[in-house]
Chains A and B, each alone.
Chain A
Amino acid sequence: MKWGSNTWVGGSLVVLALGVAIFAPWIALTDPVMDANLMNAELPPSWQFPFGTDAQGRDIYSRILYGARISLTVGIVSQVCNSLIGVTLGLTAGYWGGWWDDVVSGITNLMLAIPSLVFALAIMAILGPGLMSLVIALGLTSWSYSCRIARAQVLSLKSQGYVQAARILGYGDLRIMFTQVLPNILGPLIVIATLGMGGAILAEAALSFLGLGIRPPFPSWGSMLSEARDQIRAAPWLSVFPGLAIFFTVLGLNLLGDGLRDILDPQSTTRRA
């Protein structure tokens, strides 16, 4: 196991983002929603307000810390959903084959034909804004990669000796899939999930920016940008810092995903597309 510099840099950025999200109440300077003070409206960055303040006089630094909670929650929960759906469908389709495989492949192709952000947008349009809708919209719309990878891997592992042995010992199909096959294909799936988490955070920001995700006054990085857009001329710092927070978090996840791929999956052909 060789941990490249990618893994270290990426891992550190991700740990930083997680730490910020967990400890937000302790390291924030003010309350992100309630501490509005028009006396402090639209102040540029200073010692008192490291990232400046917004039109209501709220501290951007504190809002970004709390925003990490939303972005990471959406990223992690939706990616867990995607992985569960993708892995379950991919494993069963590859293992059982037959009509079930045809059905799953059909659905996967259908999912690939609709751009996932457009699909998520449609679901948000139906469910309405909010954290729960975001998680559902993003958790249901981008499982096709993990499904494809899981299926392809199962197809190549199905005929291996230890899988055959488990079958002769009388293991049930599901037990074989989850105890014999799954542990052996976990590597590429972890890589896909890490990279997908970055994608989910970007998608959350985009949907919140459009006003369909987290609604103001609650601080999500995307909703902060959506408020900042109109004041870009007068108060550019409102746009700069939430964007940097998104950038470094997603960069961390991408570097970590790349690093993990080199470690877990050296012969990978699963480059992100």
Chain B
Amino acid sequence: MLLVLARRLGNVIPTLLAVVALVFLLFSVLPGSFISGMNEDGRSQIDPAVMERMRKEMGLDDPLIERFVKYVAHTAMGDLGTSFRTREPVTKLIGVRVWPSLKLVLAAMTFAISVGVTLGFLAALRPGSLIDTISMVGAISGLSLSQFWFGLMLMYLFALQLQWLPSFGYGDGGLRYLILPAVALGVGPMALLARTTRAAVLDILNADFIRTARSKGMSERRVVEWHVLRNALVLVITIVGLQFGSLMGQAVVVEKLFAWPGVGSLMVDSVFQRDMPAVQGCILMIVLFFLLINTLVDIAYVVIDPRIRYG
């Protein structure tokens, strides 16, 4: 088990390094910078002498390779630079945002798994039935929804019209504030999970070992609980792991819609303020989180399915 963990973490580090390099290149090789941008968007005209000083201060004139080495070295030590705007360390800015983001993403995934897997299961056990039709129409619709629009509609219905829930904000961080954003964010993965669970369960029900289990007199309930559930779980976990990526992408938009104080809304705000160190930090944070989740997924495989071994 420890070996698996070590191996997987060993795979994370090169990817993370590559992402660091890519992010650095994107933001420094392409034309334009924080300062020229400030000039171009016409909000403020900057004196060329001041511009020169700012460039020097922020180290924008150093040779590229020198800046890169410095950037990697600092990042490796957990220093993501200083925010251009607030002059605070980026790690501090992001630090307070991690927990709300994590809470939102985990709540959305919990919603997606509990509803999606249940629907997929029920649909597969009774193919062609009413519940099958309803869940599959619901699933394809859920995949086609734009999550922020769905969030907007939820906000209108449950917060403004019915006044059951607060319309936006983090509030005291309680469940009431979490429900609407989590449902809006979770609807996409929920739909996908319903579809894949249904397909996986149908496949498994046709497998030889199910026929064997039935023919040896195992009760239907036990067949489903013991064989089907366990085998479907492997696929479900794969989808969950892959979905975390797009979930965290979508979270950026949903956080912005609900004024949720997470990493995503920090990223969007920083983009508008051209605060590039903060933008870079947010991207790295999101990628790191995604890679860690997938490491956990790989470990979960080994726990659930003893046939899977990383040799």
Contact = CB atoms under 8 A, between A and B. Distances in A.
B9 interface: no
Contact of A273 (B22, B27, B30, B239): B239
Contacts of B238: 273
Given A242-B149, A273-B192, 18 more contacts: A110-B15, A113-B287, A113-B290, A114-B19, A115-B245, A115-B286, A116-B246, A118-B287, A125-B276, A127-B30, A206-B146, A210-B268, A229-B152, A232-B155, A243-B150, A248-B144, A254-B144, A273-B238
Nearest to A125: B271
B94 interface: no
A205 B268 contact: no
A209 B149 CA distance: 10
Contacts of A117: 246, 249-250, 252-253
A236 B152 CA distance: 10
B257 interface: yes
Contacts of B192: 272-273
A205 B149 contact: yes
Contacts of A110: 15, 18-19, 22
Is the contact region of chain B dominated by helix, strand, or loop, or is it mixed?
helix
B257 A247 contact: no
Interface residues of A, number: 47
Interface of A: 106, 109-110, 112-118, 121-127, 198, 202, 205-206, 209-212, 225, 228-229, 232-233, 236, 239-240, 242-243, 246-248, 250-251, 253-255, 258, 271-273
For the complex of A and B, list the 5 residue pairs with the smallest distance between their C-beta atoms, beginning with the closest: A117-B249, A115-B249, A243-B149, A251-B144, A250-B144
Contacts of B18: 106, 110
B141 interface: yes
Contacts of A210: 252-253, 256, 268
Interface string B9-36: 0000001001100110011001010000
A239 B149 contact: yes
A124 to B, nearest CB: 8
A225 B249 contact: no
B152 A118 contact: no
B231 interface: no
A40 to B, nearest CB: 23
Contact of B287 (A114, A225, A239): A114
B153 interface: yes
